[in-house]
Amino acid sequence: MKQHWKKFVIAVVALIVVVVAGSFIYAKFINKADEEFDSGDVKELLDATTTVAPEQPITTDPTATSTGADTTSAPEATQGVDGEWVIAAGSEVGYRVDESINGFDTTANGRTQAITGTFTIGGTAVSAGQFTVDMTTFKSDESRRDGQFNGRIMDVANFPTATFVLTAPIDFQQVPTDGTTITASATGDLTLRGTTQSVTFDVEATFQNGRVGVLGKIPVVFADFGIPSPSVATITTEDNGLLEFVLAFDRA
């Protein structure tokens, strides 16, 4: 009897060691969370070439001498920033949530480039803006996480989009010149999983190469938006996360 009990204890201990070791390896080596967006990501987007739409053919000056320059680049910065702007290809939105797997800390994140929207600038302020994200397109490095995100957490079948609508002007206090970066506060209505809340957060705007880039992070408390806790089984998460974005805009 004692021999059987000893074997049982050894088996349990061995199982615990395997689970703990597996959790450590996954949290520290297998899980690959992307780095947080930063100003470098914005500049990379703004340096990207802008493709001219088919209905707007490139025209050339027959008297000009060819220099080999790219005629599809963004418009000159001397046009200023007044007017309407539309989200350009390459813009990206993501979520970040701190989680613990059997006591080992890691970060869960997913991203999408399926975002559309516009904003309007007049003088030193953004007077209007609205954006829509296709929630069904978020991807992480783990299919099981994506399944939880699409199902019980964000219920994308019933709430396929998230939106943000600016409810107060964003005043940058000055008209940006080419290459400058300005920080200001933005306030608007954020809708996640069918629930709308007013949020205020900082944004960093850069005007470069005739384009506008915006970097921002919105703290989200899950309960405020009726989002179920992402925790499941041996994976526990914080009760909040970050909605992060890096956006490039071209003239509408």
pLDDT tens digits, one per residue of 164-193: 999 999 999 888 788 889 999 999 999 999
Rounded to a whole number of angstroms, the distance between the first and last alpha carbons of the chain is 80
| Pair of tokens at residue 105 | 């800390």
CA-nearest of 93, 82, 89, 94 to 48 is 89
- 152-156-158 Cα angle (round to 5): 95
The one-letter amino acid at 102 = N
pTM, two decimal places: 0.77
Task: Tell me the residue length of the chain.
Answer: 252
Residues 103 and 18 in one domain: no
Structural domain that includes position 14: 1-30
pLDDT interval class at 49 (50, 70, 90): low
Task: Collect all residues with Cβ–Cβ distance below 8 Å to 185 and sequence separation of at least 6.
Answer: 170, 200, 201, 202, 203
Cβ distance 233 to 239 under 8 Å?
Answer: no
Contact 155, 118 (CB under 8 A): no
pLDDT digit string (tens) for 73-122?
Answer: 444 444 678 999 999 999 999 999 998 876 778 899 999 999 999 999 99
Does any domain span residue 55?
no
> Residue 137's domain is classified under what CATH number?
2.40.128.110
Let me know whether 39 and 25 are in one domain.
Answer: no
Least confidently predicted of 37-41, 58-62, 139-143, 248-252: 58-62
Q: How far apart are CA 106 and CA 97, in angstroms?
A: 9
How many separate domains does the chain show?
2
CA distance 229 to 36: 22
